[in-house]
Amino acid sequence: DADVTQTPRNRITKTGKRIMLECSQTKGHDRMYWYRQDPGLGLRLIYYSFDVKDINKGEISDGYSVSRQAQAKFSLSLESAIPNQIALYFCATSDSGRGYNEQFFGPGTRLTVL
Amino acid sequence: AQTVTQSQPEMSVQEAETVTLSCTYDTSESDYYLFWYKQPPSRQMILVIRQEAYKQQNATENRFSVNFQKAAKSFSLKISDSQLGDAAMYFCAYRRQGGSEKLVFGKGMKLTVNP
């Protein structure tokens, strides 16, 4: 079983719709992240959370919001989807107790906005 | 702000040969980590190798090794005995110690392995 799971794997929505992407992990890690991958741009950080009560904006948070429902769950919402949010979205986790804090990635969610 | 540059968008290598992927970065920090991630067509991000900036010894993981030049801010990945399964996008990434600990990624490089 995958340690970091994302649902759905693919999502097609219409402009203006609100959608939620979900991430859950069984690794017991305290830190969770949401990244966005655009072709030719690598991955960029949207939001990150060091624990349930600690949520912070990343470099491209406009148009997004997050919820850390539990240590194992971190959801990303697009309040009103627009075509320039078409991308591959990754959730990642890490353990603050380990020196190098390796980030483990989920399988990604491909989002299409019509 | 930290930046990571992968100047070669694509490379190819013959199976069983050796290939080196280049990466440079810019930072004013002295304590940080560097990573190479592999992204096959399945799109899963897989950690290949990591390097702590305070370590002078270059990291090695089986057929994968790095050449870390801290003064030059260079972090290249060498793949020995290339295999068909090595074909993927490769991303160089930087993470500073502390703060958000976000990963800063390069734009990636597509590696093709020819049989």
DSSP A20-77: EEEEEESS--SEEEEEEEETTTEEEEEEEEEETTEEEE-TT-TTEEEEEEETTEEEEE
**pLDDT exceeding 90 applies to what percent of chain B?**
83
Question: Chain A partners of B108 at a C-beta cutoff of 8 Å?
Answer: 40, 42
Question: Cβ–Cβ of B105/A48 closer than 8 Å?
Answer: no
What is the number of alpha carbons within 13 Å of residue A11 lying toward its C-beta?
Answer: 26
**pLDDT exceeding 70 applies to what percent of chain B?**
99
Q: What gap in Å lies between CA B92 and CA B105, rounded to an integer?
A: 6
Question: Cβ–Cβ of A90/B45 closer than 8 Å?
Answer: yes
The predicted pLDDT at position B98 comes to 75
The predicted pLDDT at position B11 comes to 96
A43 touching chain B per CB within 8 A: yes
C-beta separation of B111 from B6 below 8 A: no
Residues of chain A with pLDDT under 50: none
